[in-house]
């Protein structure tokens, strides 16, 4: 495995691979890797001739400076984990290497088609501008055959699919199922910020979502929406920021179970001061 910190070096290595007409699998991450990331990395390794993983805490997608400063970082440990699963190249640039001064100072603009106006977009203004900025730049740099994203970040995956279509990237976006602990807690880099007691408490998020599936079609969408929020908030130490029941393709809220054949419940919950996201397919 090679650990690369300069874009020019990565391009040179990949140019050689492309001359051999080799497929390239790519996984963009912000580091602090857990088994969920490694599951995606294994797919990239197994399904392509060359696998590339970026490890870069992207400053332009954080609207909260404290959140950026406290985001866990350990590039050496991440590189070790990726080496063990067979990843070929790890790209870990600094912000000054990756972005120009102009890119850092000016807001990146993109036509999201409304996908940024709901859920995370309402509570983290500018977040998805930064996501599209960094991922589009990485796609141009890596020019992958396939790129892998987890379905835990459900809204982000929908936005990346739109970005690929609008910008005309020639690659396959591979959505991968949420990886969970035995307890049901969705794996997340932010879990490292939880105390042991909070980790146990946070398992109630998925437990409530899973139970709510039993009532799909038996109660109205609004009743299920309200009861899910109430059930999560019932646990002292958990507070729902939002819960939306949406069309899995458009991310628009649904009002009836027969509005679409693909319905997903998406939630963000504060466990103490740690912000956790999760989702579940309801239909």
Q: What is the pLDDT along the chain (283 residues), one digit of tens a residue?
A: 999 999 999 999 999 888 888 999 999 999 989 999 999 999 999 999 999 999 999 998 887 777 778 777 889 999 999 999 999 999 999 988 899 999 988 889 999 999 999 999 888 888 899 999 999 999 999 999 999 999 999 999 999 999 999 999 999 999 999 999 999 999 998 998 999 999 999 999 999 999 999 999 999 999 999 999 999 999 999 999 999 999 999 999 999 999 999 999 999 999 999 999 999 999 9
User: What single DSSP character describes residue 51?
Assistant: E
Task: Give the integer Cα–Cα distance in Å for 1 and 51.
Answer: 10
Asked if residues 233 and 240 have their Cβ atoms less than 8 Å apart, the reply is yes
3 state SS of 186: strand
3 state SS of 236: coil
CB atoms within 10 A of CB 143: 16
What residues act catalytically? 37
CA dihedral 21, 27, 33, 37 (to 10 degrees): -100
Distance, C-alpha 215 to centroid of its chain: 28
| Predicted TM-score (pTM) of this structure | 0.92
Task: Give the integer Cα–Cα distance in Å for 10 and 255.
Answer: 48
Strands (DSSP E) found in 105-180: 146-150, 172-176
């Amino acid at each position: 495995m090679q650990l690369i910190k300069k874009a020019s070096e990565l391009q040179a290595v990949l140019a050689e691979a492309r001359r051999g007409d080799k497929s390239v699998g790519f996984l963009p991450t912000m580091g602090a890797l857990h088994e969920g990331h490694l599951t995606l990395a294994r797919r990239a390794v197994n399904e392509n001739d060359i696998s590339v993983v970026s490890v870069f805490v992207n400053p332009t997608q954080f609207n909260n400076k404290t959140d950026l400063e406290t985001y866990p970082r350990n590039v050496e440990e991440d590189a070790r984990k990726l080496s063990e699963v067979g990843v070929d190249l790890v790209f870990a640039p600094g912000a000054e290497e990756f972005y120009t001064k102009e890119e850092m100072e000016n807001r990146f603009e993109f036509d999201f088609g409304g996908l940024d106006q709901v859920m995370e977009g309402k509570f983290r203004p500018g977040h998805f501008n930064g996501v599209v900025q960094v991922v589009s730049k990485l796609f141009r740099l890596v020019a992958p055959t396939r790129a892998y994203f987890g379905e835990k970040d459900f809204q982000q995956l929908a936005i990346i699919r739109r970005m690929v279509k609008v910008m005309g990237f020639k690659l396959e976006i591979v959505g991968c199922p949420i990886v969970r602990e035995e307890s049901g807690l969705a794996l997340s880099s932010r879990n490292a910020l939880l105390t042991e007691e909070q980790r146990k408490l946070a398992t109630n998020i998925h437990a409530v979502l899973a139970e709510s599936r039993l009532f799909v079609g038996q109660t109205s969408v609004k009743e299920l929406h309200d009861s899910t929020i109430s059930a999560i908030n019932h646990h002292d130490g958990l507070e729902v920021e939002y819960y939306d029941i949406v069309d899995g393709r458009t991310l628009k809220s649904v009002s009836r179970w027969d509005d679409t054949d693909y319905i997903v419940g998406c939630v963000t919950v504060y466990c103490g001061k740690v912000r956790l996201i999760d989702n579940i397919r309801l239909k």
